[in-house]
Structure 1
Amino acid sequence: MSNIKERVLQIAERKKISKTDFFKDLGLSYANFKGPQKSTGLNSDAVATILSKHPDINPTWLVIGEGPMYRHEGEIVREEEARYNEPVVVNEIEQTLIDALKLVISSQEKTISSLEKQVTILENTIRILQGK
């Protein structure tokens, strides 16, 4: 299973956009998507930017890697072609961003819950060790 940065790279590849142009348009550094940086996470601002610039991308696929890459499979559109297509309704873009942010929040909540459990276990271990 790919991580979120690998999926971002797949967007550029599938849309046949040079990585330099792709990341420049997003205002992101390509260096953060290769080498050791490729395995790190992506903040919610970057996710929102990607989805606002590429509203045809399925937010569930981008954030957690499930489902099809495109919101409406079969909508593979190059950036140049997108300018001449019917414009996307602002409300649809906003909903896409909201959906993506909900996924990010859900993922963060799961991480927090897991970390809280780890803290409890460590606190109990400390109590046990202090009692010896």
Structure 2
Amino acid sequence: MKNINKTTIERLVEFMEYKNLNDNKITSIAGLSVGLIGRARKNNSGLHSDTIEKILTSFPELNPTWLLTGKGNMLNKESEKNVINNNQENEENLIDDIFDTQRDILAFLKKNYTKKIF
């Protein structure tokens, strides 16, 4: 099903799945009334403009045009670039951490298992 044929709440649910958020989490983060998202999902109803505004303010990476119309990408272009850059940065940090850990292990082994020569 294309996003353009989905309702706003269906697109919001897609974003929630992408972000690994449940109804309670998004409600808490966006400062919404408890149960609001669940009721909208259950009734497949629309969201009020103040609710959408709170969601978009809380999740600036979410493309408002996509949420409201289904046109374009789910994420803002700048956010997509940030995700890519953050992933590359995380990979580099992970590699550095692995090398640091290997150095620590080698130093430990060398210190504790090498024969001392007198």
User: TM-score band, normalised by the shorter chain?
Assistant: 0.5 to 0.7
Q: Distance in 2 between matches of 1:75 and 1:20?
A: 28
Bigger radius of gyration among the two: 2
Match of 2:63 in 1: 58
Distance 2:55 2:9 in 1: 11
Please tell me whether the aligned partners of residues 56 and 75 of structure 1 are also in contact (alpha carbons under 8 angstroms). Answer: no
State the match for 2:103 in structure 1: none
Contact 2:40 2:46 in 1 (8 A): no
Match of 1:89 in 2: none
Is 1:16 the equivalent of 2:39? no
2:52 aligned with 1:47: yes
Which runs of 5 or more structure 2 residues have no equivalent in the other structure? 87-118
Give the TM-score of the pair, scaled to structure 1.
0.50
1:20 deviates by 1.7
Query: What amino acid is aligned across from residue 74 of structure 2 in structure 1?
Result: M
- Within 2, Cα distance between the matches of 1:62 and 1:74? 16
Amino acid at match of 2:80: G
Q: Residue 74 of structure 1: SS of its match in structure 2?
A: helix
TM-score for the superposition, normalised by structure 2:
0.55
- Identical positions, percent: 26
Task: Give the CA deviation at 1:74.
Answer: 2.8
Look up the match of 1:74. Answer: 80
Displacement of 1:60: 0.5
Alignment of 1:6 onto 2:10: yes
Q: In structure 1, which of residues 18, 25, 31 is the aligned counterpart of residue 38 of structure 2?
A: 31
SS for the counterpart of 1:34 is helix
Per-residue deviation, 1:76? 8.1
Partner SS state of residue 80, structure 2: coil
The change in CA–CA distance for 1:34 and 1:75 in structure 2 (over 3 A counts) is: farther
Deviation at 1:9, TM superposition (A): 1.1
List alignment gaps of at least 5 residues for structure 1. Answer: 82-132
Detail structure 1 runs of 4+ shifted over 6 Å in the superposition.
Answer: none
Count of residue correspondences = 76
